[in-house]
Amino acid sequence: MIWNTNLRWRLPVACLLLEVALIALFGVFVRYDMDADPHWVQEKVIKNLSTDLENEFYYRYPSFQDVHVMIFVGFGFLMTFLQRYGYSSVGFNFLAAFGIQWALLMQGWLQSFDGRYILVDLENLINADFCVGSVCVAFGAVLGKVSPVQLLIMTLFQVTLFSINEYILLNLLEVKDSGGSMTIHAFGAYFGLTVAWILYRPNLHLSKERQSSTYHSDLFAMIGTLFLWMYWPSFNSAISNHGDAQHRAAINTYCSLAACVLTSVALSSALHRKGKLDMVHIQNATLAGGVGLGTVAELMVLPFGSLIIGFVCGIVSTLGFVYLTPFLESRLHIQDTCGVHNLHGIPGIIGGIAGAVTASIANIDLYGEEGLAYAFGIERSKLNWSPNMQGRFQAAGLFVSLAMALVGGVIVGVILRLPFWGQAPDENCFEDAVYWEIPKEPKSTALRSEDSSIKPPEP
Amino acid sequence: MIWNTNLRWRLPVACLLLEVALIALFGVFVRYDMDADPHWVQEKVIKNLSTDLENEFYYRYPSFQDVHVMIFVGFGFLMTFLQRYGYSSVGFNFLAAFGIQWALLMQGWLQSFDGRYILVDLENLINADFCVGSVCVAFGAVLGKVSPVQLLIMTLFQVTLFSINEYILLNLLEVKDSGGSMTIHAFGAYFGLTVAWILYRPNLHLSKERQSSTYHSDLFAMIGTLFLWMYWPSFNSAISNHGDAQHRAAINTYCSLAACVLTSVALSSALHRKGKLDMVHIQNATLAGGVGLGTVAELMVLPFGSLIIGFVCGIVSTLGFVYLTPFLESRLHIQDTCGVHNLHGIPGIIGGIAGAVTASIANIDLYGEEGLAYAFGIERSKLNWSPNMQGRFQAAGLFVSLAMALVGGVIVGVILRLPFWGQAPDENCFEDAVYWEIPKEPKSTALRSEDSSIKPPEP
Amino acid sequence: MIWNTNLRWRLPVACLLLEVALIALFGVFVRYDMDADPHWVQEKVIKNLSTDLENEFYYRYPSFQDVHVMIFVGFGFLMTFLQRYGYSSVGFNFLAAFGIQWALLMQGWLQSFDGRYILVDLENLINADFCVGSVCVAFGAVLGKVSPVQLLIMTLFQVTLFSINEYILLNLLEVKDSGGSMTIHAFGAYFGLTVAWILYRPNLHLSKERQSSTYHSDLFAMIGTLFLWMYWPSFNSAISNHGDAQHRAAINTYCSLAACVLTSVALSSALHRKGKLDMVHIQNATLAGGVGLGTVAELMVLPFGSLIIGFVCGIVSTLGFVYLTPFLESRLHIQDTCGVHNLHGIPGIIGGIAGAVTASIANIDLYGEEGLAYAFGIERSKLNWSPNMQGRFQAAGLFVSLAMALVGGVIVGVILRLPFWGQAPDENCFEDAVYWEIPKEPKSTALRSEDSSIKPPEP
């Protein structure tokens, strides 16, 4: 197929129309929550708060900034491993800036609406970043094969579906999922994989040569990996309850990720005939422990439980890269560019299951009476709450997320198959030059290390 | 002209003399503010503070570190886009370390002097970083054309002028400018552009080939862009009032920057004949929304107002890169290496104007009575304060900043034109090898991917 | 010598066995400290804490994340300066993930053991990162010459010795060392140098060509440098006392590092015959001010004292790179790949001495009565405490650290000399391809900047 990849009018019009619509909706609906409103000075007196520090800002701001780095530098640079797709990886990932605005509205209407206005504070910003994180995950599955216009359309729909799914899980099923194993990772991965399945390109081998990395592109990708890895404790604790829950979530995630590095390295070496390590595994599988811990992060999984989850995720994820990704492509016709199935899909499911198990064995010995009530929000409405029931709702949440992802992915995939979104032909996939002005390489690729090229200075 | 670029004695002597002078001045003048002094243990009792958290450290430390990253990684890597000037971009930008020490003194004398000592706490460090941020902006205008000795001299003078201008704005005119649209960005940009104008090099085309980027240098620059973009909410909120003001400034900046990405992408594509994106715009114009929001960040501009500012800044900035930068060079003889006029100059003016307008429509409905007093510091002295008056003072602040920048830029430019500062001749501009020992490129530029080069291991 | 570098079974088995052992030990020993336990809800009531913010999490979380970045991105990327060893630099440094788990146990048994369980909170995570920081320092000395299996063994032993040394210094000698000049930097450097001495390779010149950098590898290394430099204030203040001590440690470190940049630049230029700067110095010596301030960070060294320490460290460190490193290699047969002796060794000793001096001149004028008691923990047990005595204990701490490093380094070095750990032969040192699957370079190294390679789109 020959498509027109000149986006001169489609991309600008899409961006400007969306932004104008967002401004109008923000004008009608979005106001500051009390903690960000000048009336907070009075509120402090009314609520008898002893200090400005009680403003939600100080509880969550460091975590917010870390999450922000994960979304834009973490995901953006993780995808720069492709040799000729670095501009698109960080540049199109930057379009997540559209997603966070739309997420503020969608999540706002569903969760922060006071009947007239959406009242936003820092927690809304974190949740918007989380929501867009699931778009970044899905983007990994279709990386190199979609145009920025398609990405904007996918973002529009995925944010909408994410918000609905999240509402079902958190508000109706009342599941725990502070780090989003189910809502962010499993949902994002299976949504993206379904889209990739619909967009299957049988002749993608025509751009096979560009699907690999170069030495330096792999180093750029490690910037993404490390910022994701280091800040994941913030990701999983960012919207946990104040106090011990945030603290515990950070410790658990730290442990899980540390274990995951060891098993990823072990499996990567064991699966290579000469025992060599593969950058793909180090860049991705080392992060699976953070995904797998997303649901249980603030629960009483104990440090050794976190290690076990990380241990398992590192193994399963590396195995997935070696055996499952080729299988998905050849048998199921799912071309998963970044292997999100291994990093977000399976570990997300592991996380969901771990959450169901951990919740179902919650008890007063472990949490204390008040601690249990606080952790699961029992006092609110759930008089007949039991750990067992919580566990079953957790499992239900996982299934709902997967179902939403598959159904939504099919619909969005079909829309994206329409031939006028500026997608590249098979032989030009994974190539920045399709959508970017590329600099000419200097004639001499080597920098002149001698001063010969430099006019001699005065003596 | 032939200049001597061997800095063997000039650079070391300049660095060592400056540092010795700084040490002497710090010895005479600089002490810890109460929050950083061991006597704080007693102060806590006297002030009846319930917790150590009331120490200013905990209100501002996360923002401080984010700002610190913006100055050194953000600005440093943003300028690495040039193909042969990466060492100088991050390395000379690192000389901002001189600027922060001098700024601690200058700002200290003007704002933290107790008659005998300058009392420093974390807020001073943030303000010193801010001050040096304006030097980094100006550096962008002259990048590639000045020696590190010239940069030190420019820093010395610019920090001095910045501090005086800031004192006039914040203490005499009592304007709001928490994110420094006027004091940092507009001042820094027009100061730097004026210096660039005085240092005009008619034969700069001789090093034209090195004024472009390479594929990987553009990726390095994106590291700078993203850290600036992500941490800008910290920049604009770092020295805001505790509580709702810091919170609001972060939300507003987040919104503005998100909108700015969309319009930058739109314009970049629309202005290319094949609809392709230009890395220069993505690296720079996407940040204009942060600059434009600097003055109003903590005011009641509302989320949709922030989006509008970001929307406008992204458009204006991208247009500037396409049409204004070539015009400035060809007609006004201003060679603006990084296009700081588009990223900091015009958006800084937009920010100043937005501040004047927003301040002049402040009212009790929007802020509440106490909120209004707190936001504008009315209780202090200003009995006859009115929003209208505030607006006019804001506008005056913008004009003062521009006037200081132009006059100061001319003076400093004339000093820097003296022929003995080690500047490079026109044909060697934008070239690291002038000031840096450059590694020899390996003979085979391609890494050997086969094991052929590796001694075979035992079987 | 011919060694077998195929790690197919050794590396996986080592990783998996270690991780299984860690999980078992965590299961038996590690639980949450009260601040991270759900019972904290009750504890708050018992301790009459007014707010959730009194949870230790909020005092230390931002510093923790900054330290985490320093260990994994800072040290990891700092070592990517080698032209063909970038994967190993960031990848093997990532194995610090093993070290932090083992450190949680070792430091836990010695310092957080309640008789039955190790109770971990955020401070334990910071301390584990600190401990592993000393391993990263030692890794710098042997970089390029050891296999990942050797690195795991070194980590196992060094973490053990570090924990014992730290226990002696902090708990028995009760020295101040908040930023670890002695426990982390001097110990890590001399441990690593001793190991490098034992592992001396007389024919290392066979891989001489790969011991230098390339243009882009030096830029990657600057990412490491800058994140270390920017976050060092967090490093030195992360475990200081709440309140003024943390605040003061951050200010002092900021000042010291700023001064250090100036003197590093000065000496780098002065020591080059053409006055050119050397990236090695800018990447490393600029950080020496943070190392040198580690012991005194929270003491009353005053800002100008911090500047002096930074001033001296920058000079000494740069001189070390120019004169001492070649001397160590040729005369003492110590091959110090990254020059850790100059960045961590000597500045660590300077820091230890500065600590002894600063402690011995502590007095009530400077600290106030309560401040002095709080700063040195006098109330606890030390009725006959005197500044002079503290100074002598500080000096003793430095000697103990050096002795432990030398003895431990010899033992570990001898173990690592055994021929079956998969180390590379001399001619293959500093080469990623020994342990990593390396991507094939694209046939045309230059990216095609023209669209010629792209199928023409429809008109």
Q: What pLDDT was estimated at residue C454?
A: 53
Residue A242, chain B, CB below 8 Å: the answer is no
Mean of pLDDT values over C300-306? 97
Mean of pLDDT values over C148-173? 97
Residue A100 lies in a domain: yes
Q: What pLDDT was estimated at residue A71?
A: 98
| 3-state secondary structure (DSSP) of residue A297 | coil
Q: What pLDDT was estimated at residue B447?
A: 43
Residue A115 is given by DSSP the state S
In whole angstroms, how far apart are CA C78 and each of B320, C193, C228? 37, 18, 9
Instruction: Give tens-digit pLDDT for A80-110.
Output: 999 999 999 999 999 999 999 999 999 999 9
Q: Are A164 and A108 in contact (CB under 8 A)?
A: no
| Cβ contact, residue pair B35, C428, below 8 Å | no
Phi, psi of A293 (to 5 degrees): -90, 0
Q: What pLDDT was estimated at residue C383?
A: 66
Q: For residue B254, what are its two tokens? A: 């987040």
Q: What pLDDT was estimated at residue C49?
A: 86
Cα A133 to the center of its chain, rounded Å: 3
CA–CA gap between residue A142 and residue A136 (Å, rounded) = 10
Chain A residue with the nearest C-alpha to that of C458: A4
Indicate which of A225, A265, A274 best probes the interface with C, i.e. most C CBs within 10 Å of its own CB: A265
Matching residue, tokens 């930068």: B325
| 3-state secondary structure (DSSP) of residue A119 | strand
Instruction: Give tens-digit pLDDT for A422-431.
Output: 999 999 999 9
Percentage of chain A exceeding pLDDT 70 = 95
Instruction: Give tens-digit pLDDT for A141-170.
Output: 999 999 999 999 999 999 999 999 999 999
How many structural domains compose chain C? 1
Q: What pLDDT was estimated at residue C197?
A: 98
* Residue A209 domain boundaries: 23-433
Mean of pLDDT values over A191-206? 97
Residue A8 lies in a domain: no
Residues of B in contact with A126 (CB under 8 A): none
Q: How sure is the predictor about A382, in pLDDT bands with cuts at 50, 70 and 90?
A: low
Q: Is the pLDDT of residue C441 over 80?
A: no
Residues of C in contact with A212 (CB under 8 A): 439-440
**Residue ranges in chain B whose pLDDT is less than 70:** 1-2, 379-383, 443-459
Average per-residue pLDDT for chain A? 93
At a CB cut-off of 8 Å and minimum separation 6, what does A60 contact? Answer: A122, A123, A126, A238, A239
Q: Is the pLDDT of residue A183 over 90?
A: yes
Mapping DSSP onto H, E and C, the string for chain B reads CCCCCCCCCHHHHHHHHHHHHHHHHHHHHEEECHHHCCCHHHHHHHHCCCCHHHCHHHHHHHHHHHHHHHHHHHHHHHHHHECCCHHHHHHHHCCHHHHHHHHHHHHHHHHCECCCCEEECHHHHHHHHHHHHHHHHHHHHHCCCCCHHHHHHHHHHHHHHHHHHHHHHHHHCCCCCCCCHHHHHHHHHHHHHHHHHHCCCCCHHHHHHHHCECHHHHHHHHHHHHHHHHHHHHHHHCCCCCCHHHHHHHHHHHHHHHHHHHHHHHHHHHCCCCCCECHHHHHHHHHHHHHHCCCCCCCCCHHHHHHHHHHHHHHHHHHHHHHHHHHHHHHCCCCCCCCHHHHHHHHHHHHHHHHHHHHHCCCHHHHCHHHHHHHHCHHHHCCCCCHHHHHHHHHHHHHHHHHHHHHHHHHHHHHHCCCCCCCCCHHHCCCHHHCECCCCCCCCCCCCCCHHHCCCCCC
Residue B443 lies in a domain: no
Residue C448, chain A, CB below 8 Å: the answer is yes
Q: Are B176 and B121 in contact (CB under 8 A)?
A: no
Q: What pLDDT was estimated at residue A384?
A: 79
Average per-residue pLDDT for chain C? 93
From A32, A65, A102, select the one nearest B298 (Cα to Cα).
Answer: A32
Maximum alpha-carbon separation in chain C = 90
From A125, B52, B71, B68, select the one nearest C66 (Cα to Cα).
Answer: B68
Residue A448 lies in a domain: no
Q: For residue B218, what are its two tokens? A: 């553009």
| 3-state secondary structure (DSSP) of residue A298 | coil
DSSP annotation string for A306-342: HHHHHHHHHHHHHHIIIIIHHHHHHHS----TT-HII
Q: Are B101 and C307 in contact (CB under 8 A)?
A: yes
Size of interface A-C (CB pairs under 8 A): 268
Mean of pLDDT values over C274-285? 97
Q: What pLDDT was estimated at residue B384?
A: 79
At a CB cut-off of 8 Å and minimum separation 6, what does A145 contact? Answer: A196, A199, A201, A204, A335, A337, A423, A424, A429, A430
In this predicted model, which residue has the larger pLDDT, A120 or A51? A120
Residue C455 lies in a domain: no
Q: For residue A412, what are its two tokens? A: 């969005």
In whole angstroms, how far apart are CA A201 and each of A83, A135, A207, A334, B256? 20, 21, 11, 9, 38
Residues of B in contact with A227 (CB under 8 A): none
CA–CA gap between residue A208 and residue B363 (Å, rounded) = 62
At a CB cut-off of 8 Å and minimum separation 6, what does C405 contact? Answer: C161, C186, C187, C188, C189, C190, C191, C194
CA–CA gap between residue A93 and residue C126 (Å, rounded) = 32
Q: For residue A31, what are its two tokens? A: 């106001």
| Cβ contact, residue pair B428, A56, below 8 Å | no
Helix then strand then coil, in percent of chain A rounded to 5, is 70, 0, 25
Chain C residue with the nearest C-alpha to that of B104: C255
Q: What pLDDT was estimated at residue B374?
A: 87
Q: Is the pLDDT of residue C381 over 90?
A: no
Q: What pLDDT was estimated at residue B442?
A: 73
Report the residue from C226, C254, C260 with minimal CB separation from B125.
C254
| CA angle centred on A101, ends A96 and A105, rounded to 5° | 135
Residue B3, chain A, CB below 8 Å: the answer is yes
Q: How sure is the predictor about C458, in pLDDT bands with cuts at 50, 70 and 90?
A: very low
- State the number of CA atoms in the 13 A half-sphere of A23 facing the CB: 19
Q: Are B38 and C244 in contact (CB under 8 A)?
A: yes
Residue A420 lies in a domain: yes
B194-232 per-residue burial string, b: 16 or more CB within 10 A, e: under 16: bbbbbbebeebeebeebbbbbbbbbbbbbbbbbbbbbbb
- CATH of residue B77: 1.10.3430.10
Residues of C in contact with B95 (CB under 8 A): 261-262, 265
Residue B121, chain C, CB below 8 Å: the answer is yes
Q: How many CB atoms lie within 10 A of CB A4?
A: 15
**CA atoms A211, A217, A218, A222: torsion sign:** negative
Residue A130, chain C, CB below 8 Å: the answer is no
Residue C130 lies in a domain: yes
Residues of B in contact with C250 (CB under 8 A): 57, 61, 64, 122, 125
| CA angle centred on C43, ends C39 and C47, rounded to 5° | 175
Residue C266, chain B, CB below 8 Å: the answer is yes
In whole angstroms, how far apart are CA C318 and each of A135, B9, C264, C268, C349? 47, 16, 6, 7, 16
Q: Are C398 and C186 in contact (CB under 8 A)?
A: yes
Mean of pLDDT values over A383-392? 88
From C323, C217, C330, C344, select the one nearest C279 (Cα to Cα).
Answer: C217
CA–CA gap between residue A344 and residue A402 (Å, rounded) = 12
Distance from CA of A52 to the nearest CA of C (A): 11
One-letter amino acid identity for A167? Y
Residue B230, chain A, CB below 8 Å: the answer is yes
CA–CA gap between residue A343 and residue A316 (Å, rounded) = 9
In whole angstroms, how far apart are CA B240 and each of A64, A459, B49, B387, C53? 18, 53, 21, 19, 21
Q: Is the pLDDT of residue A114 over 70?
A: yes
Residue C357, chain B, CB below 8 Å: the answer is no
Residues of B in contact with C434 (CB under 8 A): 454
| 3-state secondary structure (DSSP) of residue C288 | helix
Instruction: Give tens-digit pLDDT for C342-372.
Output: 999 999 999 999 999 999 999 999 999 888 9
Q: Which of A46-55, A62-71, C89-98 has the lowest mean pLDDT?
A: A46-55
CA–CA gap between residue A95 and residue A79 (Å, rounded) = 14
Matching residue, tokens 């997300």: A348
Q: Is the pLDDT of residue C145 over 50?
A: yes
- B213, β-bridge pairs: B82
Residue A174, chain C, CB below 8 Å: the answer is no
Q: Is the pLDDT of residue A443 over 90?
A: no
Q: Is the pLDDT of residue C447 over 60?
A: no
At a CB cut-off of 8 Å and minimum separation 6, what does B367 contact? Answer: A38, A39, B300, B375
Phi, psi of B31 (to 5 degrees): -130, 170
Q: Is the pLDDT of residue A445 over 80?
A: no
Residues of C in contact with A361 (CB under 8 A): none
Report the residue from A38, A90, A435 with minimal CB separation from B222.
A90
Report the residue from A44, A97, A455 with minimal CB separation from B258.
A97
